Amino acid sequence: MELNIDEDILKAYGFTLDIVNLQQIGSGHINRTYLLSALQNDKQYILQNINVHVFKDPFAIANNIEAVADYLKANNPDYLFPAPIPTLHGELMFAHHGDYWRLLPFVANTMAYDTLSDPKQAYEAAKQFGKLSRLLNHFDTAVLKPTIPGFHNLSWRYEQFTFALSQATAVLKQNANHEIETALRHHFIVDYYKSYEHRKDFPNRVMHHDTKISNVLLNEEDNTGICVIDLDTLMPGKFISDLGDMMRTYLCAYAENETDLNKIKIRLPYFKATVEGYLSEMANILTPTEKELILFSGKYIIYMQALRFLTDYLNGSIYYPIAYPTQNLDRTKNQLKLLNELFENEKILQDIIEECLS
């Protein structure tokens, strides 16, 4: 495939087209990611184009990452935090005709997965995200800018859904009839979230906000957690954002694109491993209110993701790239089934949480 990357971008980092090999990689919806291999010395890097339709202020991303990187360097110099490599001019991003590029370290001998096949992977991944939160427990969140305003504000996501519903074509509404009804029926999740939102012991923390399994690198031989990646949404938020997205992506053997809903089931050993891995870092930091919300974190994120896919479907699929017209509707069905699984297993999941907390 012709990759068509302007040589100026490479030159900003001291490379030219003839001395590198570029290969598009990754499964993310938003940014374009390439593996850059330098031919002379076999060194590898990640080259990434930031999606400026989604991240309207790329400097907010760069500044947040820099502030956190400086803090971690000062307080935990051994922690592996894959911050961007500066350009030859010392900038954290390269601006090029309205596009923004960055170069990241490639961490050798690691793997990023889209689904998990061993509870140990869940434990290790959850531990990595929990560790990042723990190390940043005393970091002043006011220093960080939201890179996407309202990103995990469930009330706002719900409003976007009802607005999309009011604007959608009759055909799209008809196709999504059942899912719209299910989404409306679960509005109580928004009310529950609102009832906690401003509580004192439900603090803002530095959250990763995209803790899906493909955003953590594990050692390719023994699955030990190595580091988290994809730091675009590192910004203030509630702990339910991170733990919830782990539940969304670690518990089921199949990811959000799976269309056979019979396969959408939660795996209890993966749930236990996720909670244990997260609490191995965060148990002494979470407040009593936060501990009450551990299971809610999964409901909150899975419901929000269902709303986001459904909203996008009703809007004509303008946000999440699709491979076929009804894919965002299928993703909605997938997430609503996963949400239902959480409710059906509520009692046993809460028992597991209590066991992990004791």
Chain residues binding ligand GN1 by CB under 6 A are 28-30, 54, 148, 210, 230, 233, 256, 305
Q: Given the structure tokens 């509520």, which residue do they identify?
A: 346
* Beta carbon nearer to ligand GN1, 210 or 281: 210
HSE-up (13 A, CA, CB side) for residue 338:
34
Residue 276 binds: one of ligand GN1, Mg ion, none (C-beta under 5 to 8 A by kind)? none
Bridge partners (DSSP) of residue 20 are 38
* Beta carbon nearer to ligand GN1, 305 or 327: 305
Please answer whether residues 101 and 235 qualify as being in contact, where contact means their C-beta atoms are separated by less than 8 angstroms: no
**Closest by Cα among 341, 339, 310 to 327:** 310
The answer for residues whose C-beta is within 8 angstroms of residue 33's C-beta and 6 or more apart is 24, 25, 26, 46, 47, 48, 49
Q: Name the residue whose CB lies closest to Mg ion.
A: 210
Residue 182 binds: one of ligand GN1, Mg ion, none (C-beta under 5 to 8 A by kind)? none
Q: How many residues bind Mg ion (CB under 5 A)?
A: 2
State both tokens at 157.
Answer: 């996501």
* Beta carbon nearer to ligand GN1, 256 or 281: 256
The nearest distance, CB 33 to Mg ion, in angstroms, is 10
* Beta carbon nearer to Mg ion, 230 or 258: 230
Rounded Cα–Cα distance for residues 353 and 134 (Å) = 19
The nearest distance, CB 259 to ligand GN1, in angstroms, is 15
CA dist list (Å): 43 to 8, 18, 21, 90, 198: 20, 15, 11, 20, 48
* Beta carbon nearer to ligand GN1, 112 or 352: 112
Q: Given the structure tokens 């749930």, which residue do they identify?
A: 271
The nearest distance, CB 129 to ligand GN1, in angstroms, is 14
Residue 187 binds: one of ligand GN1, Mg ion, none (C-beta under 5 to 8 A by kind)? none
The nearest distance, CB 313 to ligand GN1, in angstroms, is 14
Please answer whether residues 103 and 85 qualify as being in contact, where contact means their C-beta atoms are separated by less than 8 angstroms: yes
Name the H helices within 29-110.
Answer: 58-75
Rounded Cα–Cα distance for residues 41 and 9 (Å) = 20
Please answer whether residues 236 and 67 qualify as being in contact, where contact means their C-beta atoms are separated by less than 8 angstroms: no
Rounded Cα–Cα distance for residues 261 and 254 (Å) = 10
* Beta carbon nearer to ligand GN1, 169 or 257: 257
* Beta carbon nearer to ligand GN1, 30 or 126: 30
* Beta carbon nearer to ligand GN1, 223 or 305: 305
Within residues 201-220, the interface with Mg ion by CB under 5 A covers: 210
The nearest distance, CB 232 to Mg ion, in angstroms, is 6
The nearest distance, CB 309 to ligand GN1, in angstroms, is 8
The nearest distance, CB 116 to ligand GN1, in angstroms, is 15
* Beta carbon nearer to Mg ion, 92 or 352: 92
CA dist list (Å): 222 to 78, 184, 225, 278, 281: 21, 44, 9, 19, 20
Query: Counting contacts by CB under 5 A, is residue 258 touching Mg ion?
Result: no
The nearest distance, CB 264 to Mg ion, in angstroms, is 22
CA dist list (Å): 351 to 94, 255, 272, 346, 356: 50, 25, 10, 9, 9
Q: Name the residue whose CB lies closest to ligand GN1.
A: 30
Within residues 222-251, the interface with Mg ion by CB under 5 A covers: 230
The nearest distance, CB 30 to Mg ion, in angstroms, is 6
Residue 29 binds: one of Mg ion, ligand GN1, none (C-beta under 5 to 8 A by kind)? ligand GN1
- Contacts with Mg ion, residue ranges (CB under 5 A): 210, 230
